[in-house]
Amino acid sequence: MRMLMCALMVCVALGAVSCRTRDVRTVLILVPEMKNTACRDIVVRAVAGCVGVDSSKIVVSLPRRTVTVSYDSLLTALKNIEFAVAESGFQANEVPAKPEAVKKLPPECTAVEKE
């Protein structure tokens, strides 16, 4: 009986230690159409609105057209963040922008850039 209790206590202790409560990941999202601060603000709002995203750790590079995001993968997935960006009117990695959202973007985000 004593041996059984010891084994049970070891199992409980190991189980309590191995339970994850957070799994923070940092990813880079390519947003090719993000060309100015108006576009940046829309993208940041979309990303920050995702559950599990640490809004204080959203970093945008306009020259590179990227967004670096830290998020808890136990609460959301990268695809959820990409779809949130796409639903705001911008392509995110391989996820295309939603056409109906693109129509609602301000003119400065939809104007064709001159090379």
Which CATH number goes with the domain that contains 27?
Answer: 3.30.70.100
Q: How many CA atoms lie within 13 A of 86 on its CB side?
A: 15
Beta-carbon contacts of 111 under 8 Å, excluding residues fewer than 6 positions away, are none
Domain enclosing residue 60, as ranges: 22-110
Within-domain flag for 45: yes
Separation between Cα atoms, residue 71 and residue 54, nearest integer Å? 6
Residue 3 lies in a domain: no
- Tell me whether residue 102 is in a domain: yes
Predicted structure pTM score:
0.80
User: What is the token pair recorded at 30?
Assistant: 């390519």
Residue 2 resides in a domain: no
Inside any domain, residue 6: no
36-77 pLDDT per residue, tens:
999 999 999 999 999 999 999 999 999 999 999 999 999 999
Please report the pLDDT score of residue 86 as a whole number: 98
Instruction: Determine, yes or no, domain membership for 9.
Output: no
Residue 42 CA from chain centroid, whole number: 14
| 52 domain residue, yes or no | yes
Instruction: Give residue 13's pLDDT.
Output: 58
Report yes or no on 99 lying in a domain: yes
Domain count, the chain: 1
Whole-number mean pLDDT of the chain?
88
Mean pLDDT of 30-35: 96
pLDDT in tens, 91-109: 999 999 999 999 999 999 9
pLDDT at 21: 85
